[in-house]
Amino acid sequence: MIGLKNIFFVLLALFLLNSQLALGGGKMELLSSAFKDQGKIPILYVMPEAGGKNISIPLQWKSPPKETKAFALSIVDPHPVAQNWVHWLVTNIPKEVVQLQEGASRKKMPAGSVELRNSFGDIGYGGPQPPKGTGDHPYVVTIYALNVEKLDLPANTSLSGFKKAIEGKVIESTSVTGKYGR
């Protein structure tokens, strides 16, 4: 038989868990309506040289920490051939923003956000374009909840510079990986 004391503690734990989730204290989650984690990235989002239209992928994040002051985003291909090829770096995404629409890069970015140069040499999103015959490449999309409102980074900031700039400022981060090969 369950005692009254045990029921009280179970109800208290459920209340506290619900309160934490309602305040954004749950584990942050990143999703794309274009593909599931570890799924194939559709052709629409890849570079024209690989048969696509280079439209930036739609992204949505849930349950950011309540202390978040801004977000940063990266899409990196860590495949041995690509050697951490940068496909998208974004800083200063306002804390109220919890999604980037399909095709947002260079056109419909949230006010205040800053797109940096990718490894193709362009500002903004650069879709998958893995060399033929190298198999599926993983495109790791990461959203970072930051404890600062703004990062002042030049457009040419490298991936290592980006990582150094957010070091010690990340409250929480989460990733989703899409794959593409040709």
Domain of residue 159, CATH code? 3.90.280.10
Tell whether 2 is covered by a domain. Answer: no
Looking at the domain assignment, is residue 107 inside a domain? yes
Note whether residue 56 is domain-resident. yes
- Per the structure, the complete domain to which residue 35 belongs is given by 26-180
**Exposed e or buried b for every residue in 148-181, given b needs 16+ CB within 10 A?**
eeebebeeebebeebeebbeeeeeebbebbbbbb
Domain count, the chain: 1
Query: Residue 58 domain-assigned?
Result: yes
Q: Which pLDDT tens digit goes with each residue over 88-128?
A: 999 999 999 999 999 999 999 999 999 999 999 999 999 99
Tell me which residue of 141, 116, 149, 130 sits closest to 39, measured CA to CA: 141
Any domain includes 1? no
Is there a domain that residue 53 lies in?
yes
What is the average per-residue pLDDT within 127-135?
A: 97
The answer to whether residue 16 sits within a structural domain is: no
Task: Quickly state the pLDDT bin for 26 (edges 50, 70, 90).
Answer: confident
Report the C-alpha gap between 114 and 112 in whole angstroms. 7
Whether residue 11 is contained in a domain is answered as: no
Q: What is the pLDDT of residues 141-155, one digit of tens each?
A: 999 999 999 999 999
Please tell me what DSSP assigns to residue 13. Answer: H
- The residues, any chain, with a CB within 8 Å of residue 2's CB and separated by 6 or more, are none
- pTM for the full model? 0.86
